[in-house]
Amino acid sequence: MCIGVFDSGVGGLSVWKEIIKVLPKASITYFSDSANCPYGNKSQQQIIDRAYRITDFLISKGAGIIVVACNTATAAAIRALREKYQIPFIGMEPAVKPAALHSKSGTIGVLATRGTLNGNHFHASVERFASDVNVVAKVGEGLVELVESGETSGQKVKDLLKVYIDPMLEQGADHIVLGCTHYPFLLDSIKEIAGSGVVIVDPAPAIAFRTLNVINENNLKISEIKEATSEYPTTFYTTAPVEKLMMMAHRIDPQIPESNFNNIEI
C-alpha cells in the first residue's frame, strides 16, 4: 500500500516535500497532470473527470490514501471523490483560520487561483473563521505557469507578484495565505516583496501531519523501504515530458534516481 499524491502539475511537490519529512520511508506515488495544467480555468466537471482518472490510476498503483495536493482540485472535486471511493482523501485547506486568528492588523491577504477563490470551501472558511477580519483575495494569474516552466525567481516573477501582493500590503495585511501549492516555490520572492513584518502562511506542513494522523487513525499499513536497500520510496508520473517534473523534484531532493520519473497518458 502506498500514499497517492496528485496535483495539476509540479506544485504538489511542495506538499510532497512536507510529507516525506514526517514519513521519510513511506512508499509514495506522485502524479503530476502537467499536460492539463492549470486547472484554475477549467470547469468543475472537467476537474472532477480528471480527478477520477487520476484516482483510478493511483489506486491501481496501490494507493490506500490520496492527498489532493491542489487547492483548485480540492475545491472542485474532493466531495465527489469521497462519495465515489472508499479510501481516505486529504484535501488542501485554505489556511484562512490561522491567518485570521493571529492577525494583529485585522487584514489578511489570500493569493490563490480563480477556481479556489470561487469555491464553496474558501467562502465557508472565510465565513467561519475570518468574518471579523478584512480579507484581500487576489487571483494569482500567470503564477502557476511560471512555476510549471521552472521560472521561480528573477525580475519577471517579482514584477508579477507585486501586482498581487502590493494591494494586500496597501490595505495593511500582516499575513498572506498561499492558496495554491505552486506558490511556495516562489517563497523567496514573496518574502522579499512582503517584507519581514508579514507572515507567509503555507498550509503544506499541516497537510503532511494531517496525512500522518489519518494513516494512524485508519491503521493503514503503508509500505516502507528497507534500510539496507538503495531503493527510492517515491515514484513520479506526469502527463507531460518528465524533464520539468524531474527538475523541480531535484530542487527538493537531488538524490532521486532519474528512473523514478515516468511519462504516462491517461
Q: How far is CA 162 from the centre of its chain?
A: 22
Angstrom distance (rounded) from CA 239 to CA 77: 19
Question: Active site residue: 180, 222, 248, 249, which one?
Answer: 180
Buried b (16+ CB within 10 A) or exposed e, 88-97: bbbbbbbbbb
Residue 37 a catalytic site member: no
CA–CA separation, 210 vs 178, rounded Å?
18
Could you say which of 70, 81, 168, 173 is catalytic? 70
Strands 107-112 and 134-139: parallel
In terms of Cα–Cα distance, which of 236, 252, 261, 212 is closest to 30? 236
Q: Please identify which residue in the block is written with the cell numbers 531535484.
A: 250
Q: What residue type is assigned to position 44 of the chain?
A: Q
180 is catalytic: yes
Question: From CA 173, how far away is CA 90, in angstroms rounded?
Answer: 29
Residue 85 three-state SS: coil
Q: Which residues are catalytic?
A: 70, 180
